[in-house]
Structure 1
Amino acid sequence: MKITGYRTLTAQHEWRRAIGDANGHIPDAVTDVPIVILETDAGIEGVGIGSHADLARLFPAIEGEDPRSVSALFDRMLAQVFKSSHAGATYGGIATLDSAIWDLKAKAAGEPLWRMLGGRDRFVPGYASGLDIALPDDDLHAFYGQYADRGYVAGKLKGGLDLTTDLRRLGIMRDALAAHTDAPGLMIDSNESWQVKQAVRYVSAIEQHFDLVWVEEPLRRWDAAGHARLSDAIRAAVATGENLTGVEQFRPLFEAGAPDIVQAGSIWGVTHFQRLSFAAAVRDLPVSIVGHNANPAVVHVATAVPNHLTTEVQALDYAPGVHVDQEVVDGGIVLGDEPGAGIRIDEAAIAAAREGAGWTNPAGPHMRPARAGLRMLLDGIER
């Protein structure tokens, strides 16, 4: 079996709510879902979700190759862009092709990806995440309530701008998730919006009221020394890493003793999460997948590594035309038995559902505010 070509599609996910974080938000959010379909001479097609970045430059590294050599093909793609670097958006293209290759490998074997990777238990623990900074309080409670109805006992709040607001909303989230436990797991994510001392003061104040499981991305993603200082100063675990593109970018954080929980964005693919998990396991650190809905193939890896903690679930459905053989139940994700990653694409349904250009606001939470990390917030107002 040889890889012969690829084609791209873009589905649209309607969130039916505002989504965002400390950097901004998108009202009535509709986001693009980039899809890559790898073609083979055997007629089997592999599906990858995540990014269309640099595909034309990367594809020569895998064209004509046997997709069953998936780990070697991942390294060939890294080598293909050696001089210009695989970091940043390019890594998204690598990871999406990688996920499609893993899909091909498992389909060729007639097995679900989780079993191909060596998993035994198809259940993956998860937590609810509303991307919820712009949700009114009633909608916030309703969002986490629907996850509680599916057995979820932990959730992550987007915050970091106003302590009084975050304390109130952490309480709302806790109450909504209390259906199955007296002590729901609470996390807060500031999306790189603090400096070290801001983070220490802010989190310490929260910890007077709530026992946080972790604080996520409190500082800039590369600030290894700062994360280590923060971890020493607070009770909560420090979780970071979702925006690091390549396992080697974690080296300074590991050497500084910075992360308590090692995170990987699902958009960076199957091999990335697999290799990162083993690197973290050597250091007795747990790993967590961020943004499962952005690439549901990656969660298969969680069944086959020794240190997966929990996975972020942001939505209960997928874009029209994207069918995923997984269930969000029992406080986690139950993987199905369809061969490959269990992702089926209905190209006609995707085309029929498309409206407009996709992103209603291409900036939103993806553009860092000019004063991020420099805000002097007093009584909820920047002074």
Structure 2
Amino acid sequence: MRVKEVRTAYSVRPHAARPIRDALQTLTGGGSVSVEIESEGGLVGRGSSSFGRIDGAPKALSVFIDEVLAPLVVGQDATRIPAIVESLKMETEYHGTAGFATFGISAVDVALWDLLGKAHGVPTYQLWGAHRDRVPAYAMVGWSNYDLDELRQQCGEAVAQGFRGVKIKVGAGDLDDDVRRIEAVRSQVGPDVALMVDANQVLTLSEALRRGEAFGELGVTWFEEPLPAQDFAGYAELTSRLLIPVAAGENLYGARQFREFFQRRGCDIVQPDLRRAGGPTEIRAVGALASAFGVPYASHGGGPAALSLLLCAPTAVWLETGLRSSPSAFPRLEGGCALAPQGPGFEWE
């Protein structure tokens, strides 16, 4: 099965109501680049990379894929995905092994695996060998600029939709503000719903220790990204000293960075991001490393490809997503869990 053509398109979308904020930045909108890979037989695999901010990145990535990556993919045997991905990594070494180029490789990788699943007429996760047919799901709903009433409303809606957990942002204000937000959510969702908090890399080690101890006493499920992503030594110390689980990894690139992070015992829960980690081919290696080091694996971000990877990861614990726009929207939930895709590939359609 040879690749006939690679096509891209990009889009930007402002947030309809108002910007959203976390402790690190204000987000006025997002953008994405979609990739279609067509085989000589007419099958089409689809992938994408998204951006949380509106800037020139979607347009630039579309051009990068068209002019740098696509010529390396056209004409290749689409069943030899790891070999194709490795060639893309080698070609883009000059552009950096972490960052912009990886977003492009990830989108191509997703499209290739979607194409292969469709070629076999099965969900892609079945090609990898599944450990389960569902994964517990939580909704990221609590942005820093939401007041307490809106925070309660959003978290209550997540529970009403059937999610087993909710996540809110912390770190934009002082510890007292974080505590008020956590207590407001807990009073809304009750004691049995998992509650995660995310500081988006803004804290010092000493402040992360102080807040982590307080969050642990409040029964928070995990404390996400309190420190800058590359501070492996800081994460190792934080993880060793806090009782609350520390979650991190969304801003790591490639299996080698994750291997070093695991070797340093940098987190209690790892959260690879599909775009940054390098796509399904690389994340499958990260999942194997997580299993070898005994580290639970939760996705950063959702979507059918992220869910498919979790279904096949030995230590998978959580799928992250947002509120569903309708009862039929992704993910299909049952008992607080996201159910496996049923259609060929990643079931984008």
**TM-score in same-fold range (> 0.5):** yes
Are the counterparts in 2 of residues 2 and 67 from structure 1 also a CA contact under 8 Å?
yes
Are the counterparts in 2 of residues 20 and 131 from structure 1 also a CA contact under 8 Å?
no
Total equivalences in the alignment = 332
Unaligned ranges ≥5, structure 1: 345-383
The match for 1:168 among 180, 184, 187 is: 180
Alignment partner, residue 376 of structure 1: none
Alignment partner, residue 351 of structure 1: none
User: Which whole-Å CA distance do the structure 2 matches of 1:342 and 1:277 have between them?
Assistant: 22
The match for 2:257 among 249, 257, 267 is: 249
Alignment partner, residue 274 of structure 1: 284
User: Which whole-Å CA distance do the structure 2 matches of 1:156 and 1:75 have between them?
Assistant: 35
TM-score scaled to structure 2, two decimals? 0.88
User: Which whole-Å CA distance do the structure 2 matches of 1:141 and 1:69 have between them?
Assistant: 48
Are the counterparts in 2 of residues 11 and 32 from structure 1 also a CA contact under 8 Å?
yes
Residue 105 in structure 1 maps to residue 116 in structure 2: yes
Q: 1:324 to 1:119 in 2, by over 3 A?
A: farther
User: Which whole-Å CA distance do the structure 1 matches of 2:74 and 2:333 have between them?
Assistant: 36
- Which structure's relative contact order is higher, taking Cα pairs within 8 Å and 6+ residues apart? 1
Give matches, 1:1-383, under 5 Å: 1-11=1-11, 18-26=19-27, 30-50=29-49, 53=61, 54-55=64-65, 56-119=67-130, 121-130=132-141, 132-160=143-171, 161-178=173-190, 182-208=191-217, 210-268=218-276, 269-293=279-303, 296-317=304-325, 326-344=331-349
TM-score scaled to structure 1, two decimals? 0.81
User: Which whole-Å CA distance do the structure 1 matches of 2:338 and 2:26 have between them?
Assistant: 27
Q: Which amino acid aligns with 1:66?
A: D
Alignment partner, residue 54 of structure 2: none
Tell me the CA shift for residue 255 of structure 1.
2.2
Which secondary structure state, in structure 2, belongs to the residue aligned with residue 197 of structure 1?
A: helix
Q: 1:219 to 1:120 in 2, by over 3 A?
A: closer
- Deviations 1:336-369 (CA, angstroms, capped at 9, x unpaired): 321111113xxxxxxxxxxxxxxxxxxxxxxxxx
Tell me the CA shift for residue 122 of structure 1.
2.9
Across the aligned residues of Structure 1 and Structure 2, the Cα RMSD in angstroms comes to 2.2
Structure having the larger proportion of residues in helix = 2
Are the counterparts in 1 of residues 122 and 345 from structure 2 also a CA contact under 8 Å?
yes
Q: Which amino acid aligns with 2:195?
A: L
- Of 14-23 and 124-133, more deviation after overlay is shown by 14-23
Which secondary structure state, in structure 2, belongs to the residue aligned with residue 267 of structure 1?
A: helix
Tell me the CA shift for residue 110 of structure 1.
0.4
User: Which whole-Å CA distance do the structure 2 matches of 1:30 and 1:193 have between them?
Assistant: 21
Which secondary structure state, in structure 1, belongs to the residue aligned with residue 69 of structure 2?
A: helix
Are the counterparts in 2 of residues 127 and 313 from structure 1 also a CA contact under 8 Å?
yes
Tell me the CA shift for residue 16 of structure 1.
5.1
- Deviations 1:103-153 (CA, angstroms, capped at 9, x unpaired): 000000000122222226432211121151111222211211122113323
Q: 1:291 to 1:253 in 2, by over 3 A?
A: same
Tell me the CA shift for residue 276 of structure 1.
0.4
Tell me the CA shift for residue 330 of structure 1.
3.0
Q: Which amino acid aligns with 2:302?
A: H
Which secondary structure state, in structure 2, belongs to the residue aligned with residue 36 of structure 1?
A: strand
Q: Which amino acid aligns with 1:43?
A: G
Tell me the CA shift for residue 329 of structure 1.
4.5
Unaligned ranges ≥5, structure 2: 51-57
